[in-house]
Amino acid sequence: MTKRLLLGIILVLLVASAAPAVAHDKYRFIGTVTKMDGPKKLLTIKTTDKKLPPEVDIDITGKTRIERDGKKVTSAALKPGVYVVIDALGDDVFGTEAVSVRIVPAPAK
Amino acid sequence: MLLAACAPAILEAHGVTGRDAAWLRSIDGPAIGPLAYLGAKHMVTGYDHLLFLVGVVFFLYKPRHILLYVSLFTIGHSVTLLLGAMGGLHANPHLVDAVIGLSVVYKGFENVGGFARLGRWAPDSRVAVLVFGLVHGLGLATKLQDLQLSRNGLFVNIVSFNVGVEIGQVIALSIVLAALVWWRRTGRFDRDAFAVNAFLMAAGFVLIGYQLDGYFEEPARPQVVQAAAANGSAAAPTERASYASDTTQIELAPYDYVEYKYKLAKGAAMVYSWRASAAVIHDFHGAPDGGGDADEISLEKGTKAGASGTLTAAFDGMHGWYWENPGGSPITITVSSAGFYTRAVESRSNRTTQIHEVKVTK
């Protein structure tokens, strides 16, 4: 019984340790795709905002909506050079998951 | 882990929020039925209170024992609900909710025999239920205090809310007890009791973690200069605003968004006008102090290049615009306003925030 109790407490503490991770912030990343790592589902973009790192990695999940002109497309459309607007959630800029990725025309220079 | 993953939506959903909160702020006078309904709704959907109650009745078999413990819990939360909402007894809502999480952990721990196994001393469970009942009541009271209810008909409304809470408790308890009776008859109760109470403890720890995270993340409250009692409100003190004006120009990069909002107290008014160099997606809205995204109330939204008008704040909080550039060319927005606000805050999509000085008229 004591063994079970200790095991239960360890399990409880493990679950509880995940609690702070639930507080996610919203991020918007705008920029050009430099890499899409298919197996890792990791999208790298070169950002335009000087207050963000020059390059950021964003996780693409099964729930991420990827669209172009309002229509859903697959992650295969995220080729290097494509301009994207990404809304993501994460604890900080280095650990975010994309909620949506919109492929848009690059701004006029 | 599943519990932690589901937690944000569940935890955000708790409390008196959205339309209920807006309606409560607008009432002026007794509203017995609606308040009783809201009290019952809060209890039935209040997972923290329900988890504690499940823990309390989990190993109670005799009706008189169930009646005793539920009465102690009821007395506890009724006392602090009335004292809190009527007498101004106030505590930080995050810390109160963290202690409520602790109450859930305590019941789970007691139910798995934790005190018996690990220590010689255990709190008297009747006293513990009464004391934690007091804390649960304070939790309910802080939710009502944050809404700044009108003093007109306040006593009747608070009592009605409390009656609703008790009705909700009876409904919830009936369902919980029916489920427990059925479960005990299946023969799996003894085998699964440990796992269920371990889940209760885990849920309690998640609640504590979430609330402490909210407490440490909470921005510092503005300087208190005006007592709530002075303006007839039952709520926490608010910031006094002088007449101020502001003109700001905002550059919006392609596809980017910005939020620009003023801090207004309930009843404070402002006039405003904004013009953009091209059409922008906009949402003119208010965000009550202490609320989350779900509590924001949209006043007007659409796509256009400018607007003007007046606003009287329905609650203490930030009021202003979300503007998004829908196209690939930069846009400039010029906003001018005058009114009884204390500051303007610009929040960018890169999570930077800038506080703008407003010009105060003496």
Does residue B3 belong to the interface with chain A, where contact is any CB pair within 8 Å?
Answer: yes
Are B4 and A52 a contacting pair at CB < 8 A? no
Residues A30, B254: C-beta atoms closer than 8 Å: yes
CA distances from B44 to B22, B53, B72, B100, B175 (A): 20, 11, 19, 16, 10
Chain A residues with CB-CB distance to B214 below 8 A = 23
The alpha carbon of residue A22 is apart from the nearest alpha carbon of chain B, in Å, by 6
Q: Does B9 touch chain A (CB under 8 A)?
A: no
Best B11, B251, B255, B296 residue to mutate vs chain A (most A CBs within 10 Å): B255
Nearest residue of B to residue A15 by CA position? B1
Residue B21: its pLDDT value, please? 62
> What whole-number distance in Å separates Cα of residue B299 and Cα of residue B294?
14
Which residues of chain A are within 8 Å of residue B348 when distances are taken between CB atoms?
51
Residue B115, CA distances (Å) to A53, B60, B108, B120, B237 in order: 51, 18, 11, 7, 42
User: A19 to chain B, minimum CA–CA distance in Å?
Assistant: 5
Distance between start and end Cα atoms, chain A: 70
Residues in chain A whose Cβ is within 8 Å of chain B: 1-2, 4-5, 8-9, 11-13, 15-25, 27-28, 30, 48-49, 51-52, 85, 93, 102, 104-108
Q: Do B213 and A48 touch (CB under 8 A)?
A: no
From CA B158, how far away is CA B177, in angstroms rounded? Answer: 28
Q: Is B196 helix (H, G, I), strand (E, B) or coil?
A: helix
Within 13 A of A32's CA, how many CA atoms are on the CB side? 7
Residue A51 parent element (H or E): none
Report the C-alpha gap between B328 and B326 in whole angstroms. Answer: 7
Q: How many CB atoms lie within 10 A of CB A93?
A: 19
Picking from B291, B207, B218, the residue whose alpha carbon sits closest to that of residue B17 is B291
- Local structure of B6: helix, strand or coil: helix
d(CA B233, CA B152): 9
| Confidence (pLDDT) at A13 | 52
Please name which of B65, B145, B136, B60 lies closest in space to residue B96, comparing C-alpha atoms.
B136
For B34, counting Cβ atoms within 10 Å of its Cβ (0-12 exposed, 13-18 middle, 19+ buried), the class is middle
pLDDT for position A2: 53
Contacting residues of B for A52, CB less than 8 Å apart: 350
Six-digit token pair at B322? Answer: 């979300």
Hey, where are the domains in chain A?
A: 23-103
Nearest by CB: A18 against B4, B118, B208: B4
Place of tokens 């405003």: B272
Q: What element of type H or E holds A39?
A: none
Domain B244-360 carries which CATH code? 2.60.120.680
Contact between chains at A23 and B201 (C-beta distance less than 8 A): no
- Contact across the interface for B209 and A16, Cβ inside 8 Å: yes
What is the pLDDT at residue B133? Answer: 92
- Token readout for B305 is 């290049």
Q: Is CATH 2.40.50.320 the classification given to domain A23-103?
A: yes
Longest dimension (CA), chain A: 70
Of the candidates B207, B223, B222, B235, the one whose C-alpha atom is nearest the C-alpha of residue B150 is B235
DSSP single-letter state for residue B219: P
Residue B9, pLDDT score: 42
Cross-chain residue pair A49–B256, CB shorter than 8 Å: yes
Q: Which residues of chain A fall short of a pLDDT of 50?
A: 1, 16-22
Complex confidence, ipTM = 0.80
- Per-residue pLDDT at B294: 73
State whether A25 and B351 contact (CB < 8 Å): yes
Tell me where in chain B the CATH 2.60.120.680 domain(s) lie.
Answer: 244-360
Query: The dihedral of CA B259, B265, B267, B269: what is its sign?
Result: negative
Nearest to A80 by CA among A38, A37, A41, A34: A34
Distance from CA of A72 to the nearest CA of B (A): 18
pLDDT tens over chain B, length 362 residues = 444 444 444 444 445 555 566 666 666 677 788 888 888 888 888 888 889 999 999 999 888 998 899 899 989 988 888 888 777 777 788 888 899 999 999 999 989 888 888 776 778 889 999 999 999 988 888 877 766 666 777 888 888 888 988 898 889 989 999 999 998 888 888 888 999 999 999 999 998 988 888 777 654 443 333 333 333 333 333 445 678 899 999 999 999 999 999 999 888 899 999 999 999 999 999 998 877 777 788 888 899 999 998 898 988 899 999 999 999 999 999 999 999 998 899 999 988 888 888 888 75
Instruction: Identify which of A2, A21, A27 has the shortest CB distance to residue B351.
Output: A27
Per-residue confidence (pLDDT) for residue A68, from 0 to 100: 95
Q: What is the pLDDT of residue B218?
A: 58
Reduced to 3 states (helix: H, G, I; strand: E, B; else coil), residue B344 is strand
User: Alpha-carbon distance B283 to B292, whole Å?
Assistant: 16
A73-91 tens-digit pLDDT: 999 999 999 999 999 998 8
